[in-house]
């Protein structure tokens, strides 16, 4: 067990996440004690203790000028994290690839600097020196930020928006899944009711969005291709009837599980303006697919991929996961070799979240998991480069093993713009379906509880399919309060 005590609430977030990244399996107890003298203390397993006096931090900041007290406090917070990082690095004998950058968007920093006109080599130097980011990751973050910036410049961020529709059903539920998804067989009788509600919400959103046009459309889930062909047809028709798709740069259907995809369903997609699909293997190792409850074969993945190519899909993404139970670097190499033969247009590589790794009885493995996943992530990076795919988006989930990142790689014009938009929050996203989260960028910031200003409002739909169906009017009404006031 690890005990953290902070003098101020504002230190707790960074301190917790840096400690968690070094000790992903330890239980952490945290408290704020305004009366304590040190800014932060951390008691590690085995008895060693980190304690940071405010004088030490102020000494470090001596001679620096701050325009506001807020700026000064930010600098103190950064120094607290830096001192703690160096201590943990010394104690564990290892560093973290992303250093003290603990947030889900490590590209945020280079993106802001690029927008300010700071040269790339200067940004890389500052990431290494100020935040202890490794040279490779600093390069990666800058490359992704440059590409995101170029892709986002193609959008009409102010008067456009993006549209999401969610289908929360899957052929079976994979044991590592973090989404709320239900097995289709159990819900077959309610799918039409679900589509009735979804249609109602999409048509209502269409009316609210009058005068604005979507730049991207994304049908995700779940697995949208668990729908029967006529149900898919209905959904796509509703979207086309409700929105002006004349300006759409990208229309993705995350087909996902190969065992849900048929030629008939692909033909339905092709008859509508769908430009990009996903066929997600996660791994090309049959033993792993069996172990994690993905009830499809490697052969099915290959067949469905070629079927989609034959039907004319020229933008196909594939998702992989590094660190699935029992997988070794050799498995990852083999998976990449098989994917290379298929040559998808984009590849998304996720690192398995550590909590889920533990749930698979991987506890004994977690001591080495950091190094193993690190090498698997590198293998995927090299494989993607060999296929001519370059990184275009990057984010981290909390508790990803070893503080790793999820990276999307794509050919030059085949990047998934919607993926960037979810992370960057540069455009409003109207989202329909159970568990969908609508994000509205406000023209004028509002003052929220606690006095903080916000220029983005989230309106979440209920996750339960039954509740979504029965409370659809309420879901629509809540959005109507914000779109576009």
187 forms part of the interface with ligand SF4 (CB under 6 A):
no
Q: Which is nearer to ligand SF4, 222 or 323 (CB)?
A: 222
How far apart are CB 259 and ligand SF4 at their closest, in Å? 9
How far apart are CB 221 and ligand SF4 at their closest, in Å? 6
Cα separation, 204 vs 199, whole angstroms: 8
Footprint of ligand SF4 on residues 231-270 (CB under 6 A)? 256-257
Is the CB of residue 305 less than 8 Å from the CB of residue 342? yes
Q: Which is nearer to ligand SF4, 41 or 282 (CB)?
A: 282
What would the two tokens of residue 244 be?
A: 């002006």
Pairing of the two strands 437-447 and 169-170: unpaired
Instruction: Choose among 103, 87, 73: nearest CA to 8.
Output: 73
How far apart are CB 106 and ligand SF4 at their closest, in Å? 24
435 forms part of the interface with ligand SF4 (CB under 6 A):
no
How far apart are CB 193 and ligand SF4 at their closest, in Å? 20
How far apart are CB 241 and ligand SF4 at their closest, in Å? 27
Cα separation, 57 vs 7, whole angstroms: 14
Q: Which is nearer to ligand SF4, 206 or 221 (CB)?
A: 221
Q: 């920093």: which residue's tokens?
A: 109
Is the CB of residue 264 less than 8 Å from the CB of residue 305? no
Q: Which is nearer to ligand SF4, 102 or 280 (CB)?
A: 280
How far apart are CB 87 and ligand SF4 at their closest, in Å? 38
Please give the DSSP secondary-structure letter assigned to residue 406: E
Q: Is 228 left (phi over 0), alpha (psi -120 to 50) or beta?
A: beta
Cβ neighbour number for residue 275 with a 10 Å cutoff: 17
Q: Which is nearer to ligand SF4, 25 or 175 (CB)?
A: 175
Cα separation, 445 vs 278, whole angstroms: 36
Footprint of ligand SF4 on residues 135-174 (CB under 6 A)? 170, 173-174
Q: Which is nearer to ligand SF4, 107 or 461 (CB)?
A: 461
Cα separation, 339 vs 74, whole angstroms: 45
Cα separation, 201 vs 433, whole angstroms: 8
Q: Which is nearer to ligand SF4, 147 or 257 (CB)?
A: 257
291 forms part of the interface with ligand SF4 (CB under 6 A):
no
Q: Which is nearer to ligand SF4, 406 or 428 (CB)?
A: 406
Cα separation, 327 vs 290, whole angstroms: 12
For 324-349, the three-class secondary structure string (H helix, E strand, C coil) is CCCCCHHHHHHHHHHHHHHCCCEEEE
- Applying CB under 6 A, among 6, 102, 162, 181 the residue interacting with ligand SF4 is 181
- Applying CB under 6 A, among 223, 225, 427, 461 the residue interacting with ligand SF4 is 223
Q: How many helical (H) and strand (E) elements, i.e. helices and strands, does the chain have?
A: 18, 17
- Applying CB under 6 A, among 16, 179, 360, 482 the residue interacting with ligand SF4 is 179
Is the CB of residue 198 less than 8 Å from the CB of residue 239? no
Q: Which is nearer to ligand SF4, 110 or 435 (CB)?
A: 435
Length of the chain equals 485
How far apart are CB 295 and ligand SF4 at their closest, in Å? 10
Four-CA torsion 478, 482, 484, 485, nearest 10 degrees: 120
Q: Which is nearer to ligand SF4, 36 or 464 (CB)?
A: 464
222 forms part of the interface with ligand SF4 (CB under 6 A):
yes
Instruction: Choose among 293, 292, 289, 265: nearest CA to 277.
Output: 265
Stretch binding ligand SF4 (CB under 6 A), from 142-150, 216-224, 417-425, 438-446:
216-224
How far apart are CB 282 and ligand SF4 at their closest, in Å? 7
How far apart are CB 432 and ligand SF4 at their closest, in Å? 17
- Applying CB under 6 A, among 177, 342, 358, 462 the residue interacting with ligand SF4 is 177
Stretch binding ligand SF4 (CB under 6 A), from 26-34, 62-70, 154-162, 177-185:
177-185
396 forms part of the interface with ligand SF4 (CB under 6 A):
no
Cα separation, 119 vs 124, whole angstroms: 9
Q: Which is nearer to ligand SF4, 346 or 428 (CB)?
A: 346
406-410 β-sheet, strand order: 390-395, 406-410, 346-351, 316-322, 276-279, 250-256, 213-221, 160-167, 429-432, 437-447, 453-460
433 forms part of the interface with ligand SF4 (CB under 6 A):
no
Which residues are at the interface with ligand SF4 (CB under 6 A)?
Answer: 170, 173-174, 177, 179, 181, 221-223, 256-257
């Amino acid at each position: 067990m690890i005990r953290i005590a902070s003098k101020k609430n504002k230190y707790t977030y960074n301190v917790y996440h840096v400690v968690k990244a070094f000790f992903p399996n330890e239980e952490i107890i945290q408290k704020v004690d305004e009366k304590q003298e040190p800014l932060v203390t951390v008691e590690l397993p085995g008895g060693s203790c980190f304690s940071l006096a405010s004088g030490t931090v102020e000494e470090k900041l001596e001679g620096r000028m701050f325009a506001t007290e807020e700026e000064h406090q930010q600098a103190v917070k950064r120094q607290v994290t830096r001192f703690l990082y160096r201590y943990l690095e010394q104690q564990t004998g290892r560093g973290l690839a992303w250093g003290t950058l603990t947030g889900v968007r490590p590209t945020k920093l280079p993106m802001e600097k690029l927008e300010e006109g700071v040269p790339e080599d200067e940004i890389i130097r500052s990431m290494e020196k100020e935040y202890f980011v490794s040279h490779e990751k600093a390069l990666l973050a800058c490359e992704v930020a440059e590409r995101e910036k170029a892709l986002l410049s193609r959008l009409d961020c102010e008067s456009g928006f993006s549209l999401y529709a969610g289908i929360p059903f899957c052929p079976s539920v994979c044991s590592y899944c973090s989404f709320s998804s239900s097995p289709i067989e159990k819900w077959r009788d309610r799918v039409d009711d679900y589509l009735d509600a979804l249609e109602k919400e999409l048509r209502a959103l269409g009316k609210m969005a009058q005068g604005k046009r979507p730049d991207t459309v994304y049908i995700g889930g779940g697995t949208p291709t668990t729908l029967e062909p006529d149900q898919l047809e209905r959904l796509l028709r509703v979207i086309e009837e409700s929105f002006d798709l004349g300006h759409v740069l990208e229309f993705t259907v995350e087909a996902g599980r190969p065992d849900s995809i048929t030629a008939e369903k692909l033909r339905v997609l092709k008859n509508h303006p769908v430009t990009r699909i996903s066929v997600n293997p996660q791994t090309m190792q049959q033993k792993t697919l069996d172990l994690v409850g993905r009830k499809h074969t490697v052969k099915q993945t290959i067949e469905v991929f070629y079927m989609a190519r034959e039907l004319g899909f020229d933008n196909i993404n594939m998702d992989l996961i590094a660190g699935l139970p029992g997988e070794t670097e050799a498995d990852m190499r083999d998976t990449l070799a098989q994917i290379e033969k298929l040559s998808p247009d984009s590849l998304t590589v996720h690192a398995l979240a550590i909590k889920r790794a533990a749930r698979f009885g991987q506890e004994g493995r977690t001591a080495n998991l950091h190094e193993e996943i690190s090498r698997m992530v590198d293998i995927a990076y090299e494989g993607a480069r060999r296929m001519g795919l370059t990184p275009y988006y990057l984010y981290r989930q909390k508790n990803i093993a070893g503080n790793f990142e999820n990276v999307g790689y794509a050919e030059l014009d085949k990047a998934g713009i919607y993926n960037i938009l979810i992370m960057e929050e540069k455009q409003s996203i109207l989202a329909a379906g159970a568990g969908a989260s609508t994000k509205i960028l406000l023209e004028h910031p509002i003052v929220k509880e606690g006095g903080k200003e916000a220029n983005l409002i989230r309106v979440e739909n209920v996750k339960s399919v039954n509740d979504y169906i029965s409370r659809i009017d309420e879901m629509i009404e809540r959005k109507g309060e914000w779109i576009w006031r």
